[in-house]
Homo-oligomer: A and B are copies of this chain.
Amino acid sequence: MQVEECVNGDSEDLDALLADLAKVNNSRERASQLFQWLINPIPAKTFFRDTWEKKPILVQRKNPNYYKGLFSTAEFDRILRQEDVQYGVNLDVTSYTNGTRETHNPPGRALPFTVWNFYESGCSLRMLNPQAFSSTVWNVLSILQEQFGSMAGANVYLTPPGTQGFAPHYDDIEAFIVQLEGKKHWRVYNPRTEDEVLPVLSSPNFDQSDIGKPILEVVLEAGDLLYFPRGFIHQGECLPDAHSLHITISSYQKNSWGDLMQKMVPAALEIAMEEDVEFRQGLPLDYLTYMGVQNSDKDDPRRTKFFSRIESLMKKLTTYAPVDAAVDQKARDYLHDCLPPMLSPEESASSVKGAPVRWERGQVVGVGAHITTQTKVRVLRAGCARLCSDGEAVHLYYTTDNSRVYHKEEPKSFEINAEHTDAIEFLIHSYPKFVTVGSFPGDSAEDRVALAELLFERGIIHTAEPL
């Protein structure tokens, strides 16, 4: 197996990059650019064609500052000090010694005193959702999720010198290992069998004797990137002379064709049974006498006939498959999984989040500003809202009230009256252009403004100028 290696020249500061990206007008374009930065200098197009879901790839940059600003152990320490980090929920304390993998989480809050004592005694620390505590990680992931069309997650791993925190294993996600501080010795192994290529579930911990020889062995240094698809076994250990801090950015968990079909196929059968009498016809009177495991060795022409009837019905089933409705079910799950967008100051000021209504000197000021038909609006992100039909009603699902904590909030949606669906499609498809509220398809000016107010209050749209 061929492993590509690249050397990077340019260095950038992440804060500056994110500030520049905030000026990019289209959130999808912004996502592309940030992803390109992540995997530089490999062109994204090449990456997705040749590498993604296929094989590991390594980028060695000789530039320890390339990812600077994304996360640091100092930030880790600040979070422990200032935020409510709970053992087992937000932080795992682990060790892997003499082939034994252990977890050492005590109950309750993870305070610097106890956490650093664990670290000093040789334990690894895994922060499970740094995006809940670090605005930068939140920002990066909320942008990248638009690139993937699938939830982007992250874990942070801090490992003391000379130790290993985890047993060899494979995961159920595409993994981008971003080395932030120190260095780590990594070994990556092929999936063991065809069945473990792009697996649905993560593996248990393996013994060293289970996994064969590595196809890739490297010491990752700060600024380096290692990508591997789900199913590739991996393990990383610290060298005696340096600690390691890395963040793993992940995506594409349960985002396969089969996952989509799990939503589609039962619905297809339900439709087929409603619409096609062939599916409702009775089974043969005597089918139990020649079908079933008990009869599977029988050489009976009725079995052949039975199989071909099944085949013919399966063929017809395809024609009833509600592909778009099933995609909407996947989309609903995705919108629930999404991080909420992180708004720039301009976006905040022009949306409900930062609209300049406030209490000042004993009274409310700034409520005079209101949406009119002249107000120009657009959705806050290309993918922050989506019209989905469940067959009966149409709902608008949206991400802007999600929490930075995974699924802490229920899925957010509200029903859309039939007369408003056109306006909302128009708005979504107009992105990234701003459009005037008066240009919405619709019956009356009042109606258009009422719809815009609703969308504004839910944080789905913002205005071209602050109100």
Beta-carbon contact of A258 and B272 below 8 Å = yes
Beta-carbon contact of A318 and B314 below 8 Å = yes
Distance to closest chain B CB from A86 (angstroms): 10
Beta-carbon contact of B195 and A287 below 8 Å = no
Set of chain B residues within 8 Å of A18, measured between Cβ atoms: none
**Which of A63-71, A96-104, A196-204, A232-240 interfaces with chain B?**
A196-204
Copies in the complex: 4
Partner of A273 from the list B108, B252, B258 (CB cut-off 8 Å) is B258
Beta-carbon contact of B198 and A281 below 8 Å = yes
Beta-carbon contact of B149 and A287 below 8 Å = yes
Within 8 A of B (CB), among A259-303: 259-262, 264-266, 269, 272-275, 277-289, 291-296
Partner of A293 from the list B292, B328, B367 (CB cut-off 8 Å) is B328
User: In whole angstroms, what is the CA distance A385 to B202 when docked?
Assistant: 40
Set of chain B residues within 8 Å of A286, measured between Cβ atoms: 149
**Which of A109-117, A162-170, A210-218 interfaces with chain B?**
A109-117
Q: Which of A311, A358, A459 gathers most chain B CB within 10 Å? A: A358
Tell me, yes or no, whether A412 is within 8 Å of chain B by CB. yes
Tell me, yes or no, whether A119 is within 8 Å of chain B by CB. yes
Beta-carbon contact of B258 and A112 below 8 Å = no
| Contact A109 to B401, CB < 8 A, known contacts A261-B279, A269-B261, A273-B200 | yes
Tell me, yes or no, whether A209 is within 8 Å of chain B by CB. no
**A368 nearest in chain B by CB position:** B120
Within 8 A of B (CB), among A220-269: 243, 252, 255-262, 264-266, 269
Beta-carbon contact of A387 and B327 below 8 Å = no
Beta-carbon contact of A278 and B294 below 8 Å = no
Set of chain B residues within 8 Å of A330, measured between Cβ atoms: 283, 288
Set of chain B residues within 8 Å of A194, measured between Cβ atoms: 277
Tally of chain A residues near chain B (CB < 8 A): 117
Tell me, yes or no, whether A206 is within 8 Å of chain B by CB. no
User: In whole angstroms, what is the CA distance A274 to B195 when docked?
Assistant: 7
User: In whole angstroms, what is the CA distance A43 to B16 when docked?
Assistant: 61
**Which of A7-15, A349-357, A372-380, A435-443 interfaces with chain B?**
A349-357
Sample of 20 more A-B contacts, CB < 8 Å, known A257-B278, A293-B328, A293-B388: A53-B282, A73-B359, A81-B358, A108-B412, A111-B352, A112-B358, A116-B364, A117-B357, A149-B287, A256-B279, A257-B309, A257-B310, A261-B279, A261-B310, A287-B327, A288-B386, A291-B324, A292-B388, A314-B314, A315-B318
24 inter-chain pairs at a CB distance below 8 angstroms, sorted by A residue, are A74-B359, A113-B357, A116-B358, A116-B367, A117-B357, A149-B287, A200-B273, A200-B274, A200-B280, A256-B279, A256-B283, A257-B278, A257-B282, A257-B313, A258-B279, A261-B269, A264-B310, A288-B330, A292-B324, A293-B394, A307-B323, A314-B317, A314-B318, A314-B321
